[in-house]
Structure 1
């Protein structure tokens, strides 16, 4: 029975890893559908190459930093042990968590689209996934540096982030904001008075919608399989994910006045927000969390572009950074027994954990992207931006003309 349970755990987390891996196709098509046609190839190649770099960075450095299990260098025979014990559970756990880590550069990619050079971005990806992301991941999910223990001692509960509203999404969104600030806006995006000069509508609504659907479906693996063992699976997590997703759709539909870009990002806003508390809030609480997240995305996307003059192409800071922040704080509200939650949460711990995640992400991301920009130049020049990344970098159109 012990062997059967172990094998089921391996299968369970493997299926989760496959679903989250498939979400990277969603990231790719969401970006392909949103950027201008002359940058579609770049979006596809960038997401795929980022995945490869992320896997290597996390295998050799990041996973060991976060969990103290070094697979890449076989320290004290840890790789050999992982290969031979528990049906390889530690290996598929790495696979599962690697897909989370690789989501960080996939998130950033949408924010810096249409003006970032290729190899400097890959260098940035390696540094982010090897050092910045696992630093906070280890604090939250492995108790590194005693911060979670201190929060529990001081406030009765540690920082609760079941599936990564902060650890993955908000961290990715705030790293993206740092990268956008370092890169600056696209050429001719704003005039001298700061008004939007060139509008860039989505190049393909069908591709954008496809990306949103792939992400939405894969998200149920992202959330439910975060239990990482068959005995920890909860139908509540699946139900809450559904309700938050629906809340995001409805809010984005009505607040965004049927705009297809908002409508298809609405479910993603709700799903980002519910990650943290999907195991402790009630379905009604999840619906409210999703409703707030959908409206928050629509309003802050417009505010970011027009008022703050932050050229975030896919709106990844509002979607992941701010909706993820809301989701973590919402745990302290809707996770309480007074509002139908299961309890065991602390608002102070949620606020401190959220603030720490934002600090690590923004400062760490800014240092990495500024360093890479200084040594390798992140930004494409004006002629390259005008020509488009597809021709300037990859020397091919998304739909080459036939002879």
Structure 2
């Protein structure tokens, strides 16, 4: 390779490293959105716990994914010299300038979103350390197993679907791999934990637990929305593959989710701010294929679906999913995976290369797998160590019971102490 070609290759690799790193940072920032969305939704006595859980879960996820999960998904480990990791040794498989390392960082932020999703469903009554154990199991084994099936063609699943239905299962940015899997894992966790004390009367009537702060809830939604453009657009993982279509589709789906939840949710701010997220969840799978008008429809359906199913969960099914993560991520993610096989078709203005049947099979395979895994992981922990706070601890609040401090310590100290 002559000096000009070498310089060009180095510039290309460096550009990709920087591009993926910026994506990783944007998705990492989304975790603050998960935290503040939960802080604003839970009652005041559980705000500190929401903040600590999300940050601690990210650290545990990093360790679990570094030592186990990434190898399960992609067959790559990092137990080699730093020179080889950085691509400085001849024949290194890790890519020039640490390309594989920023890819790990980027994909870690996706993996760590799983416990962040679950956290919102189990809020206000889950014990801390059993949830930390669940995070390690899920990010180390459960999530990367399915991730590898879809994004690395492990066990030949994608080849089988392509041979059977004419196209592999398409999930560009994780409507199924991340969101539906996270939502259905949360579904098992929520049912294993049971309802919060006092949430329903003896007659089964819903008792309102108002959110502690609409501004914090709104901030969480805004942070997630902004970071989502890293989540979706930078799933291309190279400058050469980046597409403005993904950005516009994400934007239109978000707008559709907001408008639909605004109308169906009758101006409720909680529904509106989560409606934006519903649209973004649904568009992930087909954001690189669909026409923007198709994305608008997909987002609008997701926004309405979230409102209807959140109400049904709380009132009809009496499932105490605090932030509504099962309808938001589990059901809207499922819709997004299927919708990619509809609005990704050339007949509906998409780019094609997808099969409706592959999308249907792949989407339901993801939610069935995650649903079973959720009951298995949390059922095992419930039997072995227990996963729920005592009635007294729950009444006192997770902040004081687990962390021995409230959200506003100065105002909560009695005068004269």
TM-score by length of 2: 0.94
- How far, CA to CA, are the matches of 2:82 and 2:178 in structure 1? 26
Pick from 169, 188, 191: which aligns with 1:159?
169
Q: Which residue in the other structure is 1:336 paired with?
A: 345
Moved >4 Å (runs of 4+): none
Deviation at 1:292, TM superposition (A): 0.3
Q: Determine whether 1:221 maps to 2:224.
A: no
Pick from 177, 192, 197: which aligns with 2:187?
177
Q: Which residue in the other structure is 1:82 paired with?
A: 85
- How far, CA to CA, are the matches of 1:348 and 1:133 in structure 2? 23
- Deviations 1:120-147, CA, capped at 9 Å, x for gaps: 1100000000011001100000000101
- How far, CA to CA, are the matches of 1:201 and 1:359 in structure 2? 32
Deviation at 1:401, TM superposition (A): 3.2
Pick from 121, 136, 141: which aligns with 1:111?
121
Pick from 309, 321, 344: which aligns with 1:312?
321
- How far, CA to CA, are the matches of 2:251 and 2:102 in structure 1? 26
CA contact (8 A) 1:69 1:78 kept: no
Q: Determine whether 1:36 maps to 2:46.
A: no
Deviation at 1:201, TM superposition (A): 1.1
Q: Determine whether 1:63 maps to 2:59.
A: no
Q: Which residue in the other structure is 2:290 paired with?
A: 281
The count of residues paired between Structure 1 and Structure 2 equals 398
TM-score by length of 1: 0.97
Give the alignment's Cα RMSD to 1 decimal. Answer: 1.0
Q: Map residues 226-305 of structure 1 onto 2, 5 A cutoff.
A: 226-305=235-314
List alignment gaps of at least 5 residues for structure 1: none
Pick from 18, 21, 32: which aligns with 1:14?
21
- How far, CA to CA, are the matches of 2:312 and 2:371 in structure 1? 20
- Deviations 1:96-119, CA, capped at 9 Å, x for gaps: 000000000000000000000111
List alignment gaps of at least 5 residues for structure 2: 1-7, 88-94
Q: Which residue in the other structure is 1:137 paired with?
A: 147
Q: Which residue in the other structure is 2:4 paired with?
A: none
Q: Which residue in the other structure is 2:91 paired with?
A: none
Deviation at 1:79, TM superposition (A): 6.7
Deviation at 1:154, TM superposition (A): 1.0
Larger-gyration structure (1/2): 2
- How far, CA to CA, are the matches of 1:396 and 1:333 in structure 2? 50
Go from structure 1 to structure 2 and tell me whether the alpha carbon gap of 1:121 and 1:79 turns closer, same or farther (over 3 Å shift): farther
- Give the match's secondary structure for 1:272: helix
